[in-house]
Structure 1
Amino acid sequence: MSPAQLRPYRPEDLDALYDICLRTGHHGGDATGLYRDRRLLGHVYAAPYAALEPALAFVAEDREGVCGYILGTADTEDFHRRCETAWWPPLRRQYPLPDPADESDTAHLLRRLHAGAPVELPFLGSHPAHLHIDLLPRAQGLGLGRGLMQCFVAALRERGVPGVHLGVSALNPRAIAFYERCGFATLQQRVWGRWMGLALGAGAAPPDAGPLAGPPAR
Structure 2
Amino acid sequence: MDQRLSSDSISHFSEKSKRCIERLSEFLASTEAQQESHALLLSDAWGADVPPGGKMEEGDADMIATAFREAHEEVALPPACPLIVTPVIALVTDNEVIGQLEAAKGEVDHIFSHPLEAMVDPELAQELEELVPRGEQWPHEPCHHDFKDYTVASLGNTSYRWHFFRSSATAVTGLTADILILTAQIAYNTEPKYERYAPNQLRTFEEMEGAFKKYLTSTIHVPSSPLLISQPLQTIGIHESAYKVNRGSEAQLSPATMPVKIRRATESDEAALSRICLLTADAGVSAEPLHDFGELPGLVYAVPYVKLPTTWGFVLEDDVTSQVVGYILGSTDTRAYERYAAEHWWPPLAEKYPPETMVKPGDQNYSKLLRNMHIAPDANVAYSPAHLHIDILEAYQQQGWGRKLIAAAVEFLRGEGINGVWLGLDPRNEGARKFYTRLGFGLVEGAPDNNQMGLKFADFKV
Which residue of structure 2 aligns with residue 83 of structure 1? 341
Q: Which runs of 4+ in 1 moved over 6 A?
A: none
Which residue of structure 1 aligns with residue 461 of structure 2? 208
- In structure 2, the gaps of 5 or more residues are 1-240, 242-257
1:85 Cα deviation (Å)? Answer: 2.0
Aligned residue type for 2:343: T
SS at match of 1:30: coil
TM-score using structure 2 length: 0.42
Whether 1:21 and 2:277 are equivalent positions in the alignment is yes
1:126-173 CA-partner distances (Å, limit 9, x unpaired): 222111000001110111111110111111111112321111112111
Aligned positions of 1:69-80 closer than 5 A: 69-80=327-338
SS at match of 2:289: helix
**Hey, what's the Cα distance between the residues in 2 that align with 1:24 and 1:157?**
28
Q: CA 1:55–1:106 in structure 2 vs 1: closer, same or farther (change >3 Å)?
A: closer
Does the 8 A contact of 1:17 with 1:46 survive in 2?
Answer: yes
Which one of 89, 105, 118 corresponds to residue 362 of structure 2? 105
Q: CA 1:173–1:25 in structure 2 vs 1: closer, same or farther (change >3 Å)?
A: same
Which residue of structure 2 aligns with residue 95 of structure 1? 353
Q: Which has the larger displacement, 50-59 or 173-182?
A: 50-59
Count of residue pairs brought into register by the alignment: 201
Which one of 297, 301, 313 corresponds to residue 57 of structure 1? 313
Which residue of structure 1 aligns with residue 222 of structure 2? none
Does the 8 A contact of 1:128 with 1:162 survive in 2?
Answer: no
Does the 8 A contact of 1:50 with 1:57 survive in 2?
Answer: yes
Which one of 399, 402, 419 corresponds to residue 145 of structure 1? 402
Does the 8 A contact of 1:184 with 1:197 survive in 2?
Answer: yes
Which residue of structure 2 aligns with residue 67 of structure 1? 325
Does the 8 A contact of 2:264 with 2:315 survive in 1?
Answer: yes
Q: Kindly name which structure, 1 or 2, has the bigger radius of gyration based on alpha carbons.
A: 2
Q: CA 1:96–1:79 in structure 2 vs 1: closer, same or farther (change >3 Å)?
A: same
- In structure 1, the gaps of 5 or more residues are 210-218
1:71-121 CA-partner distances (Å, limit 9, x unpaired): 00011111001101221121111112459xx88121112222211231343
1:11 Cα deviation (Å)? Answer: 2.5
Aligned residue type for 1:71: L
1:45-72 CA-partner distances (Å, limit 9, x unpaired): 1011111158621000112311000000
Aligned positions of 1:176-187 closer than 5 A: 176-187=433-444
Whether 1:4 and 2:260 are equivalent positions in the alignment is yes
SS at match of 2:286: coil
Does the 8 A contact of 1:97 with 1:114 survive in 2?
Answer: no
Which one of 403, 415, 426 corresponds to residue 158 of structure 1? 415
Which one of 22, 27, 35 corresponds to residue 291 of structure 2? 35
Which one of 46, 60, 75 corresponds to residue 302 of structure 2? 46
Does the 8 A contact of 2:278 with 2:286 survive in 1?
Answer: yes
TM-score using structure 1 length: 0.85
**Hey, what's the Cα distance between the residues in 2 that align with 1:10 and 1:130?**
18
Aligned positions of 1:116-127 closer than 5 A: 116-127=373-384
Does the 8 A contact of 1:60 with 1:67 survive in 2?
Answer: yes
**Hey, what's the Cα distance between the residues in 2 that align with 1:6 and 1:37?**
29
